[in-house]
């Protein structure tokens, strides 16, 4: 029946959720979510633990039935359809490989249950294993594989009959960093070459940012923001998104007035702040008209739209590719500054040194709180 599903002309986006709600007893895990994933897209659900990402994915796969709303796959309403009749496959976080079957049998499973002939089954299983570079491992049992290899078998198993949508629930969560980075590249590559729609769940912002075409940030069963990685990162819709996607300096109330110069809530990314000599900072020319230079503000805005401020470095941590400076401003505000480890560090960038900070005014963007 999956072949049939594929044969029908697609009449809509790969996945569409309309006002989908899911309650577990009194817990509302998913709360009136609208979501559209386009065909061929690499879409990521990003959110903290317990935000409802897995539940959303399980609703799409059909393991859970929504309490309200409707779910469409390729334009067809599948709200009541059981998992085995949906043209989607899942890569589980724990891989869920069948322990008693060989790698080959695992990968061929979707074909076996559809009654595909043995010869074709094996041919296609090997093709899928080749795609994930595991063609030599067909005869092994899952227990005889390393974590990364298992992950790839799970992938091959889900890809073998080219489902319309592939669902991935934190597929890299159990791997160590080096392997995780390697697998990220591979996954992205695979999605590109197969053209299958990927719907990925993760709580790792790096993973979401580097792999996705679009990201939906989930919080407490609701979607806070949907958009391409750059947009989500550069223009977070809420303070929560700003904080969860990347590190940020959040400034509210008085601190915002003092540092940014305006009341409200503002976010400044640590990597957007430049370290300068304090002398240089004070030498900058203030902007024309002092309306923008409020009395309480400890910072100044120069004519070229850059805002400068001086402070004292309280902590320096060498974090490999960048160094993290913690700078204490007058009035007790604290800013985190990241600086790529290149040459040309100002003299005073040492513990307890007086330092100048400057950023483009537009980099301190307001966020609804």
Ligand X SMILES: Nc1ncnc2c1ncn2[C@@H]1O[C@H](COP(=O)(O)OP(=O)(O)OP(=O)(O)O)[C@@H](O)[C@H]1O
Sign for the pseudo-dihedral over CA of 315, 316, 317, 319: positive
Could you say which of its own copies, another protein, ligand X, none residue 332 binds, taking C-beta under 5 to 8 angstroms by partner kind? none
100 binds another protein (CB under 8 A): yes
Maximum separation of any 2 CA atoms in the chain, in Å: 80
Instruction: Indicate which of ligand X, Mg ion, its own copies, none lies near residue 271 (CB less than 5 to 8 Å, by partner kind).
Output: its own copies
Strands in the chain per DSSP E:
15-24, 27-37, 42-46, 68-73, 76-77, 88-91, 165-169, 197-202, 214-219, 222-227, 249-251, 266-268, 274-276, 300-301, 306-318, 322-328, 334-340, 354-360, 365-366
Candidates 11-19, 32-40, 65-73, 203-211: pick the segment binding its own copies (CB under 8 A).
Answer: 203-211
The tokens for 263 are 């009341």
Q: What track of x and - describes contact with another protein for positions 136 through 175 (by CB under 8 A)? A: ---------------------xx--x--------------
2: contact with another protein by CB under 8 A: yes
Nearer of residues 59 and 129 to ligand X, judged by Cβ: 59
Task: Answer yes or no whether residue 49 interacts with ligand X by CB under 6 A.
Answer: yes
Instruction: Decide: is 301 part of the binding site for Mg ion (CB under 5 A).
Output: no
Among 14, 29, 73, 209, binds its own copies (CB under 8 A): 209
Q: Which residues contact 309 (CB under 8 A, 6 or more apart)?
A: 259, 281, 298, 299, 300, 329, 356, 357, 358
According to CB under 8 A, which one of 77, 120, 182, 206 is a site residue for its own copies?
206
Cα 167 from Cα 200, distance rounded (Å): 6
Neighbours of 8 (CB within 10 A): 11
Residue 305 CB neighbours (<10 A): 12
Q: Is residue 26 close enough to count as binding ligand X by CB under 6 A?
A: no
Asked if residue 353 binds its own copies (CB under 8 A), the reply is no
**280 near 356, Cβ under 8 Å?**
yes
Closest CA to 95 of 52, 56, 147: 147
Stretch that binds ligand X, among 50-58, 67-75, 187-195, 261-269 (CB under 6 A): 50-58
Q: In the set 171, 229, 236, 278, which binds its own copies (CB under 8 A)?
A: 229
Q: If binding means CB under 5 A, how many residues of this protein chain bind Mg ion?
A: 1
Query: CB of 59 within 8 A of CB of 71?
Result: yes
Question: What are residue 325's phi and psi, to 5 degrees?
Answer: -105, 135
Contact positions vs another protein (CB under 8 A)? 1-2, 24-25, 61-65, 82-85, 88-90, 92, 94, 96-101, 109-110, 112-114, 157-158, 161
Contact positions vs its own copies (CB under 8 A)? 48-49, 146-147, 176-179, 181, 203-206, 209-210, 229-230, 233, 243-247, 269-272, 274, 317-322, 324, 338-343, 360
């Amino acid at each position: 029946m999956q072949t049939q599903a594929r044969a029908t002309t697609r009449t809509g986006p790969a996945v569409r959720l309309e006002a989908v709600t899911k309650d577990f007893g009194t817990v509302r895990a998913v709360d009136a979510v609208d979501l559209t994933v386009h065909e061929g897209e690499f879409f990521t659900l990003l959110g903290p633990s317990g935000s409802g990402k897995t539940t959303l994915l399980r609703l799409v796969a059909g393991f859970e039935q929504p309490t309200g709303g409707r779910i469409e796959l390729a334009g067809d309403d599948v709200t009541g359809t059981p998992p085995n009749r949906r043209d989607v496959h899942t890569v589980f976080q724990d891989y869920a490989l069948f322990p008693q079957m060989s790698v080959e049998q695992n990968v061929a499973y979707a074909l076996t249950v559809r009654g595909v002939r043995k010869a074709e089954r094996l041919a296609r299983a090997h093709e899928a294993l080749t795609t994930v570079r595991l063609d030599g491992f067909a005869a092994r049992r899952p227990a005889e594989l390393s974590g990364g290899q298992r992950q790839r078998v799970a992938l091959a198993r889900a890809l073998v009959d080219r489902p319309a949508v592939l669902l991935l629930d934190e597929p890299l969560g159990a791997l160590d960093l080096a392997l995780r980075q390697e697998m990220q590249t591979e996954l992205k590559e695979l999605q590109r070459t197969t053209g299958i729609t990927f719907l990925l769940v993760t709580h790792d912002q790096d993973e979401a940012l580097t792999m996705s075409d679009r990201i939906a940030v989930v919080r407490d069963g609701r979607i806070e923001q949907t958009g391409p990685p750059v947009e989500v990162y550069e223009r977070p819709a809420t303070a929560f998104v700003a904080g969860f996607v990347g590190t940020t300096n959040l400034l509210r109330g008085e601190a915002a007035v003092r540092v940014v110069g305006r009341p409200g809530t503002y976010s400044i990314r640590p990597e957007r702040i430049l370290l300068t000599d304090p002398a240089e900072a004070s030498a900058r020319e203030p902007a024309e008209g002092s309306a923008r230079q409020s009395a309480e503000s400890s910072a100044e805005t120069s004519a070229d739209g850059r805002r400068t401020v001086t402070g004292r470095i309280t902590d320096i941590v060498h974090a490999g590719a960048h160094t993290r400076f913690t700078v204490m401003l007058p009035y007790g505000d604290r800013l985190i500054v990241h600086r790529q480890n290149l040459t040309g560090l100002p003299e005073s960038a040492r513990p307890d040194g007086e330092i100048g900070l400057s950023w483009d005014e537009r980099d301190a963007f307001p966020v609804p709180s």
